[in-house]
A and B are shown apart, each in its own frame.
Chain A
Amino acid sequence: DGGITQSPKYLFRKEGQNVTLSCEQNLNHDAMYWYRQDPGQGLRLIYYSQIVNDFQKGDIAEGYSVSREKKESFPLTVTSAQKNPTAFYLCASSIPGPVNQPQHFGDGTRLSIL
């Protein structure tokens, strides 16, 4: 079955540490996205990528970095510069182009500070 796999499901970060969240998709989608969700809130866009080797900042990119070396993979690194990283992180992918294409999501990663 095609889908999006996020790992790990739970992640703990120590002060001053960078951590990387994995996102892999086998839907053959060109576009991929990272969102942050705080408790009781909606989704905020961190980064997105429309094509391999290209990505753009979203609304809250500070303290995060991404890479897109392969179509299937879009890892997110939460750097030590992100002072409040505790949140739920969702990765999504979609077919770019037609407006009727939904984004498909992984199951998310919950990140907490130790």
Chain B
Amino acid sequence: AQKITQTQPGMFVQEKEAVTLDCTYDTSDPSYGLFWYKQPSSGEMIFLIYQGSYDQQNATEGRYSLNFQKARKSANLVISASQLGDSAMYFCAMREGTLGSNYQLIWGAGTKLIIKP
């Protein structure tokens, strides 16, 4: 069964608009972490933001924020005021703290975001 699901293979968004990238996850581990990464066309994987299962508040990092809905098992990435440089692949990943084996990350299939000028 898929543990990380990103339902949007691709998205087009107008520059300066906000964009929400969906991520749902499945785990029975009470302790887990959720990560978002950005992969530009050049290939490097850039860590954006982290949300822990016990965190009381949604994580924020600059223009990135995480809409964490624990009961629904969703951790959507919100990018405010999108810029042309935000065009990239975005990956959601999860690490299970207790049940997970050896600090591995479980990856989603990614969403390709294209910002239109």
Chain A residues in contact with chain B, CB under 8 A?
31, 33, 41-43, 45, 48, 50, 56, 58, 88, 90, 92, 94, 96-97, 99-108, 110
Contact = CB atoms under 8 A, between A and B. Distances in A.
A102 B91 contact: no
A101 B105 CA distance: 10
B43 A107 contact: yes
Interface stretch (B30-38, B62-70, B73-81): B30-38
Contacts, number: 59
Given A43-B91, A90-B45, A99 B32 contact: yes
B108 A42 contact: yes
B35 A102 contact: yes
Given A50-B102, A99-B33, A99-B95, A107 B42 contact: yes
Interface residues on B, range: 20 to 34
A106 B46 CA distance: 9
Contacts of A41: 109-110
Contacts of A101: 103
A38 to B, nearest CB: 11
A92 B104 contact: no
Interface string B5-39: 00000000000000000000000000111010000
A96 B103 contact: yes
A48 B91 contact: no
